[in-house]
Amino acid sequence: MASQSVLTPQAEDFPRWYQDVVAKAEMADNGPVRGTMVIRPYGYAIWENIQSAIDLRIKAAGAQNAYFPLFIPESYLSKEAEHVEGFSPELAVVTHAGGELLAEPIVVRPTSETVIGEFMAKWIQSYRDLPLLLNQWANVVRWELRPRLFLRSSEFLWQEGHTAHATYDDAAAYALKIHLEVYNSFLEEILAVPTYLGIKPPSERFAGAINTMTCEGVMRDGKALQMATSHELGQNFAKAFEIYFQNEEGQAALCHTTSWGASTRLVGGLIMAHGDDHGLIVPPRVAPIQVVVLAVRDDEEVLSACDRIVKLLQAAGVRVTMDQGRGSFGRRITDWEIKGVPLRVEVGPRDLAQGVVTMVRRDNDEKVAITIDALASTASSLLETMQSDLYASALARRDAATTDTTTVGEALEIAQQGFARLPWSVVNGEGETTLKSQAVTVRCLQRPDGTMPSSDSEPGLVCLVAKSY
């Protein structure tokens, strides 16, 4: 019997589909306070895999992990004018503690440029202390008016990097290095999500930055999702927090700082970039479970074969779990599909009689019979194939969702379903206002060949516009 769908089909109602998947795949729940999120073990396991892949790259880029406090004096925020202006609407402020009204309110960090700036000033004495390359894994709070699990929650988890450099060039180069070697590398190689790399137009810049670089993902409904950002902060924060160093000539000089972050939003991006009507599709390299070994029936011969197979896969370094064969077969398949486990190994009497197992790919439902001898090597290579196939199909969708155009009017129409690419000179100014009035924004600026511009004033830039999450 053909199963009726468990999830709302994407084409019928994409946001509903998203919520269904998050709930049914046991990724997350809403917390009791509006906008808060409970991340369930399966969702958290994915996040942990994301974390370790990003952390590895951050360390390779030379930054060190540290931890700064959740509570920030309100006065710190005010030290950088644009920064405080950008963040004050979404701040959570503690006014009472220990049963008393506080003399100075305490802000729950929305990001940590300010506290870290304060300590950079203290720690940096000479050019020999530079560059100072820090990162922290933390939770932050930004009061959200329209929350969505993983995509926008009032409290979320992220990594925020903060660096100080002696020169503008060094700072700009480092922010770009993070953008490419940490974020883009992670997105392509691990999350299998192709993005548009570019810089934000001035209107979309981080509050207090002189340049913001972005990785804009294309979701399956054609909307954009900012998946990671890297900022050049110039000397704005250095001035506000007096981050000076003594240069080789013995003179005092202001540092140039950067900051960059990626959050639990990546989990939402993964869901919306790869998922289909049957549920999640988790790329093998981030999948907490890469292979599920499914006993077709609950009998001794089948189960002991499954046991053997699990051990073979574990020995080959595959993250594998076993489904004991209780309950109906179809039901169990559906459940694993919703969770997006890349490979399913079905083991039943019919397979065993022929000395094989059936291996099924989650992304294209392709089934192959594999001898048990060849199982581990086939699984490993199929996982790698799937990883690159997922990237390739996401890339094909990205390109199919993008249309070149020349006018703001056309761009508006295209942006109802996807991305429009057009000259920045056409949009810059009034065009941007027109787009915004219909919830369409400039996601990023690029050179015509798709590479990163060095600034928004470079001539001949194109922009990508879309609706966004």
Partner RNA sequence: CGGGAAGUAGCGCAGCUUGGUUAGCGCGCCUGGUUUGGGACCAGGAGGCCGCGGGUUCGAAUCCCGCCUUCCCGACCA
333 binding RNA? (CB under 7 A): yes
* # residues near RNA by CB under 7 A: 70
DSSP class of residue 450 equals S
Q: Using CB under 7 A, which of 142, 339, 397, 421 touches RNA? A: 142
Q: Does 385 bind RNA (CB under 7 A)?
A: no
Within 10 A of 74 (CB to CB), how many other CB atoms are there?
17
User: Rg of the Cα trace of the chain?
Assistant: 25
Question: Counting contacts by CB under 7 A, is residue 32 touching RNA?
Answer: yes
Written in H, E and C, the secondary structure of 174-243 is: HHHHHHHHHHHHHHHHCCCCCEEEEECCHHHCCCCCCEEEEEEEECCCCCEEEEEEEEEEECHHHHHHCC
Shortest Cβ 464–RNA spacing (Å) = 15
CA 23 from centroid of its chain's CA atoms: 19
Scanning residues 438 to 467, which ones bind RNA (CB under 7 A)?
A: 438-439
**Stretch of 123-131, 280-288, 333-341, 371-379 contacting RNA, by CB under 7 A:** 333-341
Q: Distance from CA of residue 6 to its chain's centroid?
A: 26
Kindly report whether the peptide bond that precedes residue 131 is cis, defined as omega within 30 degrees of 0.
yes
Nearer to RNA, 22 or 124 (CB): 22
Question: What is the smallest separation between the CB atom of 304 and RNA, expressed in angstroms?
Answer: 15
Return the bridge partners of 161, or none.
135, 260
327 is a site residue for RNA (CB under 7 A): yes
Which residue from 323, 351, 432, 456 is in contact with RNA, where contact means CB under 7 A?
A: 351
Nearer to RNA by C-beta: 121 or 207? 207
DSSP for 289-333 reads -SEEEEESS--HHHHHHHHHHHHHHHHTT--EEEE---S-HHHHH
- Closest contact distance (angstroms) between CB of 459 and RNA is 27
Q: How far apart are CA 147 and CA 143, in angstroms?
A: 9
Do 193 and 69 form a contact (C-beta atoms < 8 A)? Answer: no
When the beta carbons of 198 and 325 are compared against RNA, the nearer one is: 325
Min dist CB 329 to RNA, Å, is 3
Report the residue number, 253 or 372, with the smaller CB distance to RNA. Answer: 372
Torsion sign, CA atoms 263, 45, 141, 109: negative
Question: Measured from the CB atom, is 142 or 397 closer to RNA?
Answer: 142
298, 301, 366, 373: residue in contact with RNA (rule CB under 7 A): 298
Binding residues (CB under 7 A) for RNA: these are: 1-7, 15-16, 19, 30, 32-35, 86, 89-90, 142, 144-149, 151-154, 156, 158, 206, 226, 229, 261, 263-265, 278, 296-299, 325-331, 333-335, 337, 346-352, 358, 360, 365, 436-439, 468-469
